[in-house]
Amino acid sequence: MTALAGSAQQNLDFYAGFLGLRLVKRTVNFDDPATHHFYFGGPDGSPGTLITFFPWGRFRPSRKGAGQAVAFAFRVAERSLDHWQHRAAGADVATSGPETRFGETVLTIFDPDGIAVELVGSAEASNDNRLGALHSVTLCEAALDRTADFLGFLGFAPAGQQGERSRFQLPGQQSCVDIKHQPDAEHGRMGSGIIHHVAFATADEPAQLDSRERLIAHGLKVSPVKDRNYFHSIYFREPGGVLFEIATLGPGFLIDETLSELGSRLCLPPWLEPVRDSLEPRLARVHIPPPMTLP
């Protein structure tokens, strides 16, 4: 998932500090290089653990609503949910729940911009208190059927229904997509605290081009392939309006930093390296929180 944040420093302090995720890559928004692009994830930044942010500072008022992803969830050890609830209370971080969803316990923690970060208790997560892989993303949709049908086109199968929430899952995969059906919801508006797009991985460029051709044949407008340095991407909107990305797995984050160096410096793609000296002063000044000890 990629979301829009306000303060770059608050974003770093919450995700790398409070949540204890690793800052895997510190670069810029390639379409707006005066803005940071932070990647947070597991220790090695592996696919399936990553969330990223564009901290655009002061931005127009946002509105959560239909046609948006409205929450993302991480797996955690079930016994660690009490730890996270107490940790949030001690740091004056807003929470909701816990609640039971599809037989799992879910605690929601709200980041400084109001984004819902859900922690889902799992017997399969590690036994410490660290966040594991991504569990799910929740889409808010005014019309359920058209997005559900499209997820079926992408290969997802129905995996459960609870109240207004319907779950879909790729066969053989653990992560899932939830649709929160809210027929009367206003259409969402982009701004700080809004998830910008949801990314799905594909093996390589040929598989990506095949997906692009299938999507176009399905009647969707799909972007040209974009070089994101660490992967190649295509973008399109599902029928309900949520922006989706299909990104290749490679070449990966180790093309310009070693595993131990990940996130330690500002990395620029080759086409921006010549303007580093003029670009860096335009970026918000930040300091990287030290790694947190999570007992």
**Each residue's pLDDT tens digit, 235-248:** 999 999 999 999 99
pLDDT score for 128: 84
Q: Given this model, what pLDDT does residue 295 score?
A: 58
* Domains in the chain: ranges and CATH: 2-282 (3.10.180.10)
Query: Residue ranges of the chain with pLDDT lower than 50?
Result: none
Cα–Cα distance for residue pair 86/272, rounded to 1 Å? 43
pLDDT tens figures, 128-147: 889 999 999 999 999 999 99
Query: Rounded to two decimals, what is the model's pTM?
Result: 0.95
Look at residue 56 in the predicted model and tell me its pLDDT.
87
